[in-house]
Structure 1
Amino acid sequence: MLVIIHGWSDTHSSFRTLGRRLVSEGIADDVAHVRLGDYISLDDAVTFNDIAHALNAAWARASLPTQPRSVDVVVHSTGGLVIRHWMTEFFKPSTNPIRRLLMLAPANFGSPLAHKGRSFAGRIIKGFKSDKPFQTGTHILKGLELASPYSWELAQRDRFSSDVWYGPGRVLCTVLVGTSGYSGISAAANEAGTDGTVRVSTANLDPLLLRLDFAANPETPTRKLQAANGAIAFARVPHENHSTIALKENGPKNDVTMDFIRRALQITDAQFPQLIADLDAHSQKAREQGADKPFTQGYQNTVVRLSDNYGAFVKDFFLEVFSTRPGTDKVDDALTRKIQEDVLTKVHAYGDNSAYRSLLFNTTVLLEAVTRQRRSLSLSVTAEPDIRLTRSAGYRTFGYNDIGNADLTVSHQRSLFVPDRTVLIDLVIRREQMPEVFEMRPLK
Structure 2
Amino acid sequence: MLIIIHGWSDNYSSFKTLARKLAAAQPEGIAADIRHVRLGDYVTLDDQVNYEDLAEAMQRAWTDLELPTAHRSVDVVIHSTGGLVVRHWITRYFTPDTVPIKRLLMLAPANFGSPLAHTGRSMIGRAVKGWKGTRLFETGAQILKGLEIASSYTWKLAEKDLLGEQIYYGPGRILCTVLVGNAGYKGISALANQPGTDGTVRVSTANLNVAAFELDFTDPTREVLPRMHQTQLGTAFGIADLEDHSSIAAKGGGPRRQPTWALICNALRVEDDGFTAWQQQLERHNRDVTEQAEKRRSSHYNSYQNTVIRVVDHHGTPVTDYVIELFANDDKGQRNRLRTQRLQEQAINKVHAWSGDASYRSFLINCTELYKIIDQPEDRLNISLTAVPELSSGLVGYKTYTDEDISTLSLNPQELKAIFQPHRTLLITIVLKRYQKEAVFQFKNAV
TM-score (norm 2): 0.95
Residue number in structure 2 paired with 1:385: 389
1:374 Cα deviation after fit: 4.7
How do 1:213-228 residues align onto structure 2 when only pairs under 5 Å count? 213-217=216-220, 219-228=222-231
Measure, in 2, the Cα distance between the counterparts of 1:30 and 1:160: 32
Measure the CA separation in 2 of the matches of 1:427 and 1:171: 32
> Amino acid of the residue matched to residue 412 of structure 1?
E
Select the residue among 243, 254, 268 that pairs with 1:265. Answer: 268
2:301 equivalent among 286, 296, 305: 296
Instruction: Give % identity.
Output: 47
Match of 2:128, SS state, is helix
For 1:7 and 1:209, locate their aligned partners in 2 and report how far apart those are by CA, in whole Å: 27
Give the CA deviation at 1:407: 1.2
User: 5+ unaligned residues in a row in structure 1: which ranges?
Assistant: none
- 1:265-319 Cα offsets, whole Å, 9 max, x none, are 0000111011111111111111111113311110000000110001100001111
* Correspondence 1:4 to 2:7: no
The aligned amino acid for 1:307 is V
Report the counterpart of residue 318 of structure 1 in structure 2.
323
Deviation at 1:131, TM superposition (A): 4.2
| Alignment partner of 1:357 out of 361, 383, 386 | 361
Counterpart selection for 2:342 from 338, 352, 371: 338
SS in 2 for 1:320: strand
Pick one of 149, 153, 158 that aligns with 1:150.
153
In the alignment, structure 1 residue 247 sits paired with structure 2 residue 250: yes
Q: Is the 8 A contact 1:161 1:229 kept in 2?
A: no
2: CA distance, partners of 1:363 / 1:221:
23
Report the residue type matching 1:171 in the other structure.
I
The one-letter amino acid of 2:371's match is L
> After the TM superposition, which of the residue ranges 291-300 and 265-274 deviates more from structure 2?
291-300
1:219, 1:403 within 8 Å by CA — same for their partners in 2? no
1:417 aligns with 2:420: yes
Q: Which deviates the most, 53-62 or 287-296?
A: 287-296
Choose from 193, 217, 223 the match for 1:190: 193
Match of residue 14 from structure 1: 14
- How far has the Cα of 1:401 moved from its partner? 4.8
Q: Does the alignment pair 1:306 with 2:311?
A: yes
CA contact (8 A) 2:220 2:405 kept: no
Say if 2:120 and 2:144, in contact at 8 Å, map to a contact too: yes
Letter paired with 2:321? D
Distance 1:49 1:277 in 2: 35
Deviates more, 1:10-19 or 1:229-238: 229-238
**Are the equivalent residues in 1 in contact too, given 2:219–2:406 (CA < 8 A)?**
no
SS at match of 2:110: coil
CA contact (8 A) 2:304 2:365 kept: yes
Contact 2:352 2:361 in 1 (8 A): yes
Q: Secondary structure at the match of 2:154?
A: helix
Give the CA deviation at 1:371: 3.7
How far 1:352 moved relative to its partner? 1.4
Runs of 4+ in 1 over 6 A off after TM superposition: 328-331
Q: C-alpha separation between the residues in 2 aligned to 1:148 and 1:409?
A: 30
Q: Which residue of 354, 359, 371 maps to 1:367? A: 371
Measured after TM superposition, the shift of residue 30 of structure 1 is 8.2
Deviates more, 1:118-127 or 1:275-284: 118-127
Which range moved further: 155-164 or 289-298?
289-298
Separation (CA, whole Å) in 2 of partners of 1:207 and 1:372:
28
Matched, 1:37 2:37: no
Cα 1:371–1:401 change in 2 (3 A) is farther
The one-letter code matched in structure 1 to 2:3 is V
**Letter of the structure 2 residue corresponding to residue 17 of structure 1:** T
**What's the Cα RMSD here?**
1.8
Q: Would the aligned equivalents of 2:169 and 2:176 in 1 still touch at CA under 8 Å?
A: yes
CA distance in 1, matches of 2:299, 2:259: 23
Deviation at 1:372, TM superposition (A): 5.0
Gaps of 5+ in 2: none
Which piece of structure 1 moves more, 207-216 or 37-46? 207-216
Q: 1:401 to 1:22 in 2, by over 3 A?
A: farther
Alpha-carbon distance in 2 for matches of 1:185, 1:260: 29
Deviations 1:377-430 (A, max 9, x none): 11111111000011x110011145530111122232121010000000011111
User: 2:96·2:167 contact (CA, 8 Å) conserved in 1?
Assistant: yes
Quote the residue 1:113 is aligned against: 116
2:314 touches 2:432 (CA, 8 Å); kept in 1?
yes
SS state at 1:319 partner: strand
Q: Is residue 49–residue 142 contact of structure 2 (8 Å, CA) maintained in 1?
A: yes
Partners of 2:342 and 2:334 in 1: how far apart?
16
Question: What is the SS of the residue equivalent to 1:266?
Answer: coil
Cα–Cα, structure 1 residues 330 and 294, in superposed 2: closer, same or farther, change >3 Å?
A: closer
